[in-house]
Chains A and B, each alone.
Chain A
Amino acid sequence: MSGAGPIDLHPVFYPKRVAVFGVTDTPDRVGYNILESILYGGFTGEVYPIHPRHEQVLGCKVYKSLEDVPEPVDLAVICLNQYATVEAVESCGRAGVKGVICNAGGYRETGEEGHELEKRLISAAEKYRLPIIGPNTLGMINNDGNFYSTFYPMKIPRGKVSIISQSGGIGLTIIHMAIDEGLGINKFIGVGNCSNLGFADCLDYLENDDSTAVIGVFIEGTSDAGRFARTAGRVARKKPVVVYKAGRLAATDYCTQTHTGSAAGSFHLYRDILHQHGVFTVDSASELVAACKALALQPLPEGNRVGILTHTAGPSVVMVDRLVPAGCVIPALNEETIRQVKRIIGSDDPPVTLKNPLDAAGLGFRRSTYGNLAEAMLADENVDLLLAVYCLHKTWELPASELIAAHEKYKKPLVVNFVGNWLGCRPDQEFMQKAGVPLYTAPEKTAVAAAALVHYGMRLKGGVSCDCK
């Protein structure tokens, strides 16, 4: 946002009094859904729906205009069409509102005329130094303040991860994947067209937001990419930032232009420049959620040496493929660990290959055996973090409490890949994640989670890089 000094965004994310423009009594309209979202989300502040003709919607008294609202409001959610939105922003500025969410599309993304309209919207807001979330946005959620302002009423688990998304559809994808992963969300910011509040402004805010520990970003493109990269790099020195950049082909440029009014820009530049600034990048929404989950739950490793314990080889092959290019190394186990493994398995010449990844094959099913092997690997001074692969089985159980105990004993990060379906794995996922150990059902996600931990372990803890194979 232009003008002198940064704007205080606290009243926008933690409003006490909220006005909602364009509330209607028709459930298929955005104005209705936003009010429903705020009420359903359990907002404890005051809500003032505004509509010139309605008396009451969803049990709330409706005000004719902002002037009729008895108290000054912190935030206005504007669910009007793109033209009426500009006028409403002007009236919010006059009334001393501290921020607005503009849901309507129909601006820059539609072409020349829309671009002119967006310029009018921005100048109306800037006159009063009014930050805009959007326009062209799904909205905003602050789960830390029970404030849900999207046109998809929902209630989601609270956590330490905040998401900034340029797209509503991918924003929802991330939110629902997070629910499936058992990952709590703190804030969701749909930046949409980034008219006067862009990625860098939101990162600046979240940097100092104590309830946010990890930040996930979905970006298509931004005209202010240099500032975005520098800010992401600076914030990532304090709390991990994970970026998923879409719009990778020249052909996608047209789609992003007509989606959020921003050209996608060169993916190659984004990849290289985010790397330059030490920001961890991923290649899909599911990787974004996986990486954020591990970073939110686990301590950071002291180095980049990854141990893998499994009783089936395939997943470890997939993991190594992903880990090594990300700067991880797969170290040899030390001799003491090898002795321990032989002792645990009960044979001096066990029918397993005594190396890392350690594939215990058929001997690895037994709960106590697997738990002891995990402990032996975590005890190994060559291992900075451990990935444990186990398969869902009718008879054998995931040694959940043994794994948690081993993790707590050695204080080294542990990530579990439980090979199975979501329903079958869900109880163990909940149990383990309550103890801070992330559990995934796919080796690719497990590997990206480990890569993210190693990336920020090296960056934030100044971990030692090891090239040994």
Chain B
Amino acid sequence: MKTLAVLLALAGALVLQTTLAGLMTGGRLAVNLVLVAVVYLALAYGPVTGMLAGAAGGLAQDALAGAIVGIGGLSKTLVGFLVGILGAQFIVSTALPRFVMFVSATLLHELVFQALDALLQSRGFAPQYMAVLFQAVCNGVVGVAAFLIVENGPDVLARRRMRRASFAKRRF
């Protein structure tokens, strides 16, 4: 069940990422949903799931992107593993620590990814710091929102259903 949930989360993130990117071709999509999914899974399920989700998500992203397959996989494996370990060591159950975790994970991922890419493509390492920071913040917001939706969504729906039911009883 957990494996299915992880695979569905990764596939969903990939489809959403490519579809959104297709709607704004040329411009850069300021959020990396696959990375958000990997960090989310690492925080929710621990380092092993984080690492394996990172490897699977990263490899799929690389294969689809047409880049050297493994760069994204390596960086996301590292990020998934570290986030999973940190998530198990510290209390990361409120919005702020989670946001910090998503932001730090994005910064680390971009640093590793761009360094590896520059190394393998024989290009100078020159990251666009503002773009990276913006992506980190966007990933943080999306990640925290995902946690809020998953954790509170069912409760909100149940409450709404109960309210509707009580209204219906009052009417008749």
Physical interaction between A and B? no
Interface residues of A (CB under 8 A from B): none
Please report B residues at the A interface, Cβ cutoff 8 Å.
Answer: none
